[in-house]
Amino acid sequence: MLTEPLNALTARTMDACGSPAALDVAGGMAVVSPVTGETVATLAVHSAADAQAAVDLASAAFKSWRMVPAPRRGELVRLFGEELRRAKEDLGRMVSIEAGKSPSEGLGEVQEMIDICDFAVGLSRQLYGLTIATERPGHRMMETWHPLGVVGIITAFNFPCAPWCWNAALALVCGDPVLWKPSEKTPLTALAVQAVFERAVERFGDAPEGLSQVLVGGPELGEALTDSSKVALVSATGSTRMGRIVGPKVAARFGRCILELGGNNAGIVCPSADMDMALRAIAFGAMGTAGQRCTTMRRLFVHESVYDQIVPALKKAYASVSVGNPLTSGALVGPLIDRAAFDSMTAALKEAAELGGTVHGGSREAVEGEAAYYVKPAIVEMPVHDGPVLRETFAPILYVMKYSDFDAALEAHNAVGGGLSSSIFTTDLREMETFLSARGSDCGIANVNIGTSGAEIGGAFGGEKETGGGRESGSDAWRAYMRRATNTINYSRELPLAQGVTFDIG
Ligand code: UN1
C-alpha cells in the first residue's frame, strides 16, 4: 500500500533528486504514470525556439569543453557517478513511477548509468589512436581523435535514463556537450537526472554552461536536433518508424547518427539445452519489464524433441507470474505504458489466433482501475512463422514455434526486419558455434545460454538491419563521438611522394 498519493510521492522524489522543475504548470504537458494512470505532473514545455537557443549554448560550450584535457573531463563524469550512487534509490523510484518498472529493474537501470560512468572515467585516459607504418622514409603516420561536437540524444519511455547515460558519459569524456530530448512519456526522470548532473557540475567547478541540457516537449524538439547542422551526432533510441524519419534527415545534412531501433529478438532451444536454465532465461527475457524492452524475447524456436518438456513449463510460469503495482506489490510484471500499447497487444493476439495460433494469457488484469493497463503476459503457440510474429509488438507476447531442422530454424530466426538480440540454448558445441558464426544469428547481440535482454554496459550495444546499425555503450563505441584525423609527419629533408609519384618542379 502506498501511504501517500502518487503525485505526492512523485513530488517528494523529484525534490530528493534536487530537481527545481515546477510540477503543476497550468496548461502544461501532462505526465501520466502507467502505475495508476494518474497524472503525476504537468510540466512547462520547451518551444522550437528554446531548442535553437539550447543548441547555440551547447555549441558555445563545445568550444571550451573540447580544450579541457580528457582525463579532467573524466573527473566530471567520475563525480557524476558518485552523485548517481547517492541518488540511486530516488532515481530508481522515478523510473518505476514513470515507466512502471519493478523496483529491482528501476534500480538496475540506474546501476547501468553508474557502470557506464565508471567505464567512461577509465576511457578518459584511453582515447588513443594508432601509429601506422608509412611507405616513405623519414615519415610518421598516426591517428588523432578529437572531440566531435554537440551530441543530440533522443530516448524512449521504456529506458528513461540508461541509454541517455550510455551516450552522455561517453560524449562528455570525448569532449562533446549533450542535448537530451526524452520521451514525452518520461520527462520527469530526465529532469531528475539533470538535477543530479548539476550537482556534479557544481562540485567540478568550471564546466561551461549548457554542457548538458534537457528539452521537454514534443517531436518538434527532436526535429530541432535532427535538422540543426550544429548538432554533429544524433543518437536516437526508439521505434523503427522513428528511425526512418531521423536517419534520412540527419544523413541529408551529412550529420552522424547512432540508431537503436526496434528488435524482434528470438531464442532457439536445442535438444541438449539445460532446460531449467532456459526456462528461467526465457521467462525473464520475455516477461521482464512487461515485454517493453527493445531486447525483449519475442520469438522462440523449440526443437520438437523437447517441445513437450519446456513449453508446458513455460505456460505454467506464464499462468502463475505475478502482475501488479510495481510500487506496492512486489510483482514481477508491471503495467503497459498506456492504452495504445494494450490495444496493439490485443490486435496482435487476435491476428495470431486468426493464423491458427493458440493464445495462453494476454487478458487485462484488474489492477489499479480503468486508467492503468496491466496484462497477463501471453505465450502463443504458432503453427506458422508469419503475420504478427514478424513484427515487434511492444508488449509481453512470446510466439513459440516448433522446429525439427536446425538450419531451417536459423533461417527463420533471421527472417525478420529487426536485428538486435538473440539467444541459443544448447550444450552442443556445433550448434553454439554455428549460431555465433558468419551464417548464424544476424543480430548485433548473439548470446549462448542466457536470454536476449539484460546486456552489460561493457559490450557495444545495438543491432543490424531495421534496428539501425548503431552501437552505444562499451567496447569501442566511443569512436562515434569523436572525429578521426590521420596525420602524416615528414621529419626528413626530402619530399618523397606516396605511390612513387614524381612531380619535379625543377
Ligand atoms: C532498451 O530496451 O532500449 O539489454 C535497452 C538490456 C538493457 C538495455 C535495454 N541493458 O535489456
Angstrom CA distances, 22 to 179, 194, 215, stand at 20, 14, 15
| Distance from C-alpha of 373 to C-alpha of 339, rounded to nearest angstrom | 6
pLDDT tens-digit map of 188-247: 999 999 999 999 999 999 999 999 999 999 999 999 999 999 999 999 999 999 999 999
Ligand 1 within 6 A of CB of 163: yes
Q: Which residues contact 219 (CB under 8 A, 6 or more apart)?
A: none
pLDDT at 506: 82
Tell me the best of 258, 453, 456 to mutate to test the pocket of ligand 1, counting ligand atoms within 8 Å of each CB and taking the most.
Answer: 453
Across-strand partners of 368?
none
Residue 15 has pLDDT above 90, yes or no: yes
Give pLDDT tens digits for 477-489. 999 999 999 999 9
Q: Return the best residue to mutate from 461, 471, 473 for the ligand 1 pocket (most ligand atoms within 8 A of CB).
A: 461
**Which pLDDT does position 3 carry in this prediction?**
81
Residues marked as catalytic:
260, 294
Give, using CA atoms, the residue closest to atom 1 of ligand 1: 294
- State how far the Cα of 90 lies from the Cα of 195, in Å rounded to an integer: 12
- 453 alpha carbon – ligand 1 mean position (Å): 6
Return the pLDDT at 2.
Answer: 77
Q: What percent of the chain has pLDDT over 70?
A: 100
The residue whose C-alpha atom lies closest to atom 7 belonging to ligand 1 is: 454
Ligand 1 centroid from CA 457, angstroms? 10
Q: 454 CA distance to ligand 1 centroid (A)?
A: 6
Q: Tell me the C-alpha distance between 327 and 316, whole Å.
A: 25
Say how many residues make up the chain.
506
Model pLDDT for residues 272-305, shown as the tens digit of each residue: 999 999 999 999 999 999 999 999 999 999 999 9
Ligand 1 geometric centre to CA of 160 (Å): 11
Rounded Cα gap, residues 59 and 151, in angstroms: 10
pLDDT of the residue at 211 = 98
| pLDDT tens profile 359-382 | 999 999 999 999 999 999 999 999
| Residue from 293, 452, 467 whose mutation best tests the ligand 1 pocket (most atoms within 8 A of CB) | 293
- 355's torsion region: left (phi>0), alpha (psi -120 to 50) or beta? alpha
Q: What is the pTM of this model?
A: 0.97
Longest dimension (CA), the chain: 90
Q: Is the pLDDT of residue 163 over 80?
A: yes
Any atom of ligand 1 within 6 Å of the Cβ of 116:
no
Buried b / exposed e over 278-287, threshold 16 CB at 10 Å, is bbebbbbbbb
**Closest C-alpha to 191, from 209, 213, 159:** 213
Q: How far is the CA of 294 from the centre of ligand 1 (A)?
A: 6
* Binding site membership of 295 for ligand 1 (Cβ less than 6 Å): yes
Residue 159 near ligand 1, beta carbon < 6 Å: yes
Average pLDDT, the chain: 97
